Structure 1
């Protein structure tokens, strides 16, 4: 399989984003999605969803004996209707409108993280977060913030493992909703295959980093890069909207 320089850049983005997600539990969607979108909109949302799901498979398989499936179940169930709503949004909205929505949702997620907004971690809040994650994850590939905000006061490993369990079940729901709502062309198999080495190498690197770093020291970098990327995507939406007017 041949890689162009642009493909290699995308592979580097995927690898670095997988390292962050595998280490702290969130970051792949926030970091990879806006940057890959700038390289090629075809990465959004199908390939990003599938690549993130592959990481969840690996994490859950390694941590399956320590997962609290009962606690995260309400979020998993609520992701189904949220994914359906997100799929309808994706196939019915103009590209510039999607850029505005995606950029605005990402900026909101960053702002909430900076403000350290949090609510109690219970069945009700997990249900709401699961529904919102389904909408954002299906429409924009950034489904992590709604669910991750609930786990911000949990230990890093607990948050990482339970969020991975949520995405293990929730991501296929989003992909199914895309397929059922006429978005099968959004799943570019070639792009997915080219980026799989990034998932493998990224997870391997995260295991090495865990021996050196024990705290969420990558969080400020994630928020900074996400904010810049969101502003760029928002600008594309604004210029696209003005051109369409």
Structure 2
């Protein structure tokens, strides 16, 4: 399989972004999507979603014996109606207005977390977080922070594994919503195949990173990535509002 110079750059971006998500639990889409879009808009959104899903599959298979499916199940179940509501919002409300609203809400959630206000991790909060993740993931393509913020006080590996399980089921839901909204052509198989080595190598590098950085909590990284995600969504909303 031959790679052009731009495809090699894309492969490097995918690898580095996978390392971050494999260690923290979120971050791949935020880091990879804008850079890959600059290289070729065809990377968005299908290939990015599929590559993130592949990482979730690897993590879940590796950690299947310690993964608490029962706990994360309410969030997975709530992702479906959340994704459906996100698709309906896209039809009824301008995308830039959604970005402004959800970006502000997400930034507020990060601020409250920094002020030590946090929700308990239970069935109700997981259901709400799963629903909101579905809404945001479908309407703004940033679905990780709502569920990650809920796991910020959990052990890093526990948070990473259960967030991966959430995305393992949640990402196909987003892809189905894309298909129902006429976006089936946005999944480029050739680009996905060429980027798969980046997923494998990125996960392998993350295992070695764990030996160097043995932090038990990913809270600082989760809060930072969530804050950046909120700012990115807000900027999208502002730019969209100006363009309209």
Normalised to the residue count of structure 2, the TM-score between the two structures is: 0.82
> Alpha carbons of 1:29 and 1:214: their partners in 2 closer, same or farther (altered >3 Å)?
same
> How many residues in Structure 1 have an aligned counterpart in Structure 2?
244
Mapped partners of 2:105, 2:8: distance in 1: 28
After TM superposition, the structure 1 stretch with the greater mean CA deviation from structure 2, 28-37 or 42-51, is: 28-37
> Alpha carbons of 1:176 and 1:243: their partners in 2 closer, same or farther (altered >3 Å)?
closer
Any idea what the Cα deviations from partners look like across 1:16-65, whole Å, max 9, x if unmatched? 11111111222223322343344444333222211111011111111101
Q: Where does the alignment leave 5 or more consecutive residues of structure 2 unmatched?
A: none
CA contact (8 A) 1:34 1:233 kept: no
- Give the aligned CA root-mean-square deviation in angstroms: 3.2
Q: Which residue of 2 aligns with 1:146?
A: 146
Q: Which residue of 2 aligns with 1:17?
A: 17
Please state if 1:214 is matched with 2:214: yes
Q: Which residue of 2 aligns with 1:57?
A: 57
Please state if 1:168 is matched with 2:147: no
> Alpha carbons of 1:183 and 1:216: their partners in 2 closer, same or farther (altered >3 Å)?
farther
Q: Which residue of 2 aligns with 1:118?
A: 118
Q: Where does the alignment leave 5 or more consecutive residues of structure 1 unmatched?
A: none
The offset of 1:86, in angstroms, is: 2.6
Please state if 1:186 is matched with 2:191: no
> Alpha carbons of 1:154 and 1:7: their partners in 2 closer, same or farther (altered >3 Å)?
same
> Alpha carbons of 1:148 and 1:234: their partners in 2 closer, same or farther (altered >3 Å)?
closer
Mapped partners of 1:167, 1:229: distance in 2: 17
CA contact (8 A) 1:18 1:198 kept: yes
Normalised to the residue count of structure 1, the TM-score between the two structures is: 0.82
Please state if 1:72 is matched with 2:72: yes
> Alpha carbons of 1:26 and 1:238: their partners in 2 closer, same or farther (altered >3 Å)?
closer
Q: Which residue of 2 aligns with 1:87?
A: 87
Q: Which residue of 2 aligns with 1:33?
A: 33
The offset of 1:173, in angstroms, is: 1.3
Any idea what the Cα deviations from partners look like across 1:108-136, whole Å, max 9, x if unmatched? 67656655552010101000100111122
Mapped partners of 2:209, 2:112: distance in 1: 27
- 2:26 partner SS: coil
The offset of 1:229, in angstroms, is: 7.6
Q: Which residue of 1 aligns with 2:201?
A: 201
Mapped partners of 2:42, 2:93: distance in 1: 16
- 1:210 partner SS: helix
- 1:214 partner SS: coil
- 1:60 partner SS: helix
